[in-house]
Structure 1
Amino acid sequence: MNRSLRLLPWTTPEGNPCYLSTDDGRGLMSRIADDIEAAQLDSGEEVLAGARAVLADRKAGERAVRFALTRATESLEDVLRVAVSRGRRIPHPVE
């Protein structure tokens, strides 16, 4: 039995990481976390498309650029948390 802590795709209200202690990835909380990770990745793709559109628009004002950058920063934070979480769950080869 391999008990591990899974980094969850959300934080506490104070911004601290949340972890799930699990033996496998098939429990209810694991499935909820998987669904949220998928939604965060989908949202990241949409934010990226929007940011590219703002950057391509030479007439975009400071407000539009700041909004796009704010959303891109939020999405990057989510995607990095997903990447770290998934990276930790990759089995290490036995030497």
Structure 2
Amino acid sequence: MIGFVAAIAVELSKGQDLFAQISEGGIPWFIGTSILLSIASLVPLFQGVTAESKSDGLMTSDAELWNGRLAMLGLVALAFTEYVKGGTLV
């Protein structure tokens, strides 16, 4: 979800498409952010807290799952659209 929002934000601010962002040093940022967020998401698990135990109201584990899935589809759609169009989305 963070990657999708970051890709759109950089595209709007700098005018770089997704492939340009990756080729200009985006891979180390992607790997570093992925490791950091993965470790951060494991901390509550080690403390015995599950997503289901903290789910209530609008912030449920199912809502988070759907948000993640839609963000993945959005990132793939962004990359595909930019590839077909041959440039930035905006």
Task: Identify whether the pair has TM-score above 0.5, normalized to the shorter chain.
Answer: no
Tell me the TM-score normalized by structure 2.
Answer: 0.37
Q: Which has the larger radius of gyration?
A: 1
Compare relative contact order (CA 8 Å, sep 6+) and give the higher one, 1 or 2. Answer: 2
TM-score of the pair, normalised by structure 1:
0.36
Of Structure 1 and Structure 2, the greater helix share is in 2
